[in-house]
Amino acid sequence: MGRSYLGEFEELVLLAVAVLTDGAYGVAVAAELKQRTSRTISLSGVHIALYRLEEKGFVHSELGGATSARGGRRKRLFTITSLGRQTLGELREVRNELWNSIPNPSMS
């Protein structure tokens, strides 16, 4: 497959962006992941993952709404691109295939 490599954390972030649809930005993604995975998530890590995903073309970003809690600063809102969706789908398929090939499915 000629697509870019996607790390485990990057995959999670990309999924979170997909889940959050229009409201995906740093804090929201971090909160989402924290809640779902119950691991410590650092903002800096999330940001780097987002920027990398953008460089790879999986997400697309624009600057959006400022709130008083942010000190009037705008947030960068990320949305998943079709390439991102396609890649996630491919990944899922690969996994499913692998799962299906496990001889004793009862292990889960």
Partner 1 sequence: MANPSTPPAWADRLLRWLCPPYLVEELLGDLHEQFADQVDEIGEHKARQRYVVEVLTFIRPYFLTRQAAHFINNTNDTLKTGNQLHTSAVRPLRNATYGDYPRPFLLHPSMLRNYLKIAFRNLWKSKGYAAINVVGLSVAFFVSVFLFLTAYFQLSFDSFHEDGDRIFQTYLFSNDPEKASRSSGMPLPLTPAIKADFPEVEAVSRLMNGSNVVTYKGKSLDKQVMLTDPDFLKIFSFPMRKGNRATALNDRSNIVISENMAKAVFGTEDPIGKRVQLGLDENRKDYVVTGVLGDFPDNSSIKYDAFIQIANSGNYQSDKDKWDAMSHIVYLKLSPQVDQATFENQLKPFAKKYFAGNFDGLKKKGAKPDERGDLFAIRLQKLANVHFDTEISGRSGTPVALVYALCGIASFILLIACINFINLSIARSFSRAKEVGVRKSLGALKNQLFVQIWGEAAIICFVGFVVGMVLAYLLLPTFNTTFQGKLTLDYILQPDKLAIILGLFVLVTLVAGGYPAWQMAKFNAVEVLKGKVTIKSPGLLRNSLIVTQFTLSSLLICCTIIALQQVDHMRKQPLGFQKEQVISIPVGNKVNGQQALKRMRNLLASDPMVVAITGSGVNLGLGKDRSTSRSVMGFTYKEREVSTDWLHIDYDYLKTLNINLLAGREFNPAYPSDTSARVIITESMAKMIGEKDPVGKFFQTDTAGARYQIIGMVPDFHLYSTTNEKKPITMFLSFNDNINYIFVRVAPQSLAGSMDKLKGVWKEVAPQSEFTGTFVDENTDAWYKSEERLSKIFSLASGIAILLSCLGLFAVALMVIEQRTKEIGVRKVLGASIPSIVIILSQDFVKLVVLAIALATPLAWFFMQKWLDGYAYRIEISVWIFILVGLAAILIALATVSFHSIKAALMNPVKSLRSE
Q: Please report whether residue 76 would count as binding partner 1 according to CB under 8 A.
A: yes
Q: Please report whether residue 51 would count as binding partner 1 according to CB under 8 A.
A: yes
Length, in residues, of the chain: 108
Q: Please report whether residue 7 would count as binding partner 1 according to CB under 8 A.
A: no
Q: Which stretch binds partner 1 (CB under 8 A): 4-12, 13-21, 37-45, 93-101?
A: 37-45
> How is residue 46 written in tokens?
């999330």
Question: In angstroms, what is the minimal distance from the CB of 108 to partner 1?
Answer: 35
At 73, phi and psi to the nearest 5? -90, 145
What letter represents residue 56's amino acid? K
> How is residue 47 written in tokens?
């940001």
Q: Please report whether residue 102 would count as binding partner 1 according to CB under 8 A.
A: no
Residue nearer to partner 1 on the CB measure, 65 or 89? 65
> How is residue 23 written in tokens?
């409201």
DSSP 8-state symbol, 81: -
> How is residue 5 written in tokens?
């490599």
Q: Which residues bind partner 1 (CB under 8 A)?
A: 25-27, 30-31, 42-45, 47-48, 51, 55, 63, 66-71, 73-76
